[in-house]
Homo-oligomer: A and B are copies of this chain.
Amino acid sequence: MSKTAEILCVGTEILLGNITNTNATFLSQELSALGFNVFHHTVVGDNGGRLAEAVDHALARSDLVITTGGLGPTYDDLTKQTVAAALGLEMELHQDILDDLIARWERRGQVMPKNNEQQAWFPKGCTIIPNDWGTAPSCAIEKDGRTVIMLPGPPREMKNIWTRYVVPYLSQKQDEVLVSRYCRVVNIGESALEIRLYDLLKNSVNPTVAPYAGGGETMLRVTAKARTKEEAFAMTVPVVQAIADECGDDLYAVDRDSMEQVVSDLLRELGFTVSVCESITGGLIAGRITSLPGSSDLFECGFVTYSNRIKQAVAGVPAETLEQYTEISAETAAAMAEGTLARSGSSVALAVTGVAGPDDLPYAEAGTVYVGLAGPLGTRAYRLEMLRSRDRNYTRNLACVKALDALRRYLLEIKRG
Q: Which residues of A contact B (CB under 8 A)?
A: 9, 12-22, 24-30, 32, 38-45, 47, 50, 54, 57, 72-75, 107-108, 113, 115-116, 133, 154, 156, 160, 180, 190-192, 194-195, 202, 210-214, 221, 276, 278, 281-287, 289-291, 293, 295-296, 299-307, 309-310, 313-314, 343-345, 356-359, 387-389, 391-394, 396
Contact = CB atoms under 8 A, between A and B. Distances in A.
Contact of A16 (B28, B282, B289): B28
Contact of A306 (B75, B301, B359, B392): B301
A115 to B, nearest CB: 6
Nearest to A394: B156
A301 B283 contact: no
Given A296-B306, A303-B302, A304-B301, A281 B291 contact: no
A388 B287 CA distance: 21
Contacts of A307: 296, 300-301
A395 to B, nearest CB: 11
A243 to B, nearest CB: 17
Given A39-B45, A72-B190, A306-B302, A282 B293 contact: no
Give how many copies assemble into the complex: 2
A348 to B, nearest CB: 15
A282 B210 CA distance: 34
A321 to B, nearest CB: 18
Contact of A344 (B26, B154, B290, B310): B310
A134 to B, nearest CB: 10
Contacts of A310: 300-301, 344
Contacts of A107: 388
B44 A39 contact: yes
Nearest to A223: B16
B314 A306 contact: no
Nearest to A280: B290
A340 B22 CA distance: 40
A301 to B, nearest CB: 4
A39 B21 contact: no
A21 B28 CA distance: 12
A9 B221 CA distance: 20
A316 to B, nearest CB: 12
Task: Please give me the 7 A-B residue pairs with the lowest Cβ-Cβ distance, nearest first.
Answer: A282-B290, A302-B304, A283-B286, A283-B283, A17-B28, A17-B29, A41-B43
A112 B13 CA distance: 44
Given A300-B310, A302-B302, A283 B287 contact: yes
A17 B32 contact: yes
B39 A41 contact: no
A40 B50 CA distance: 9
Nearest to A391: B133
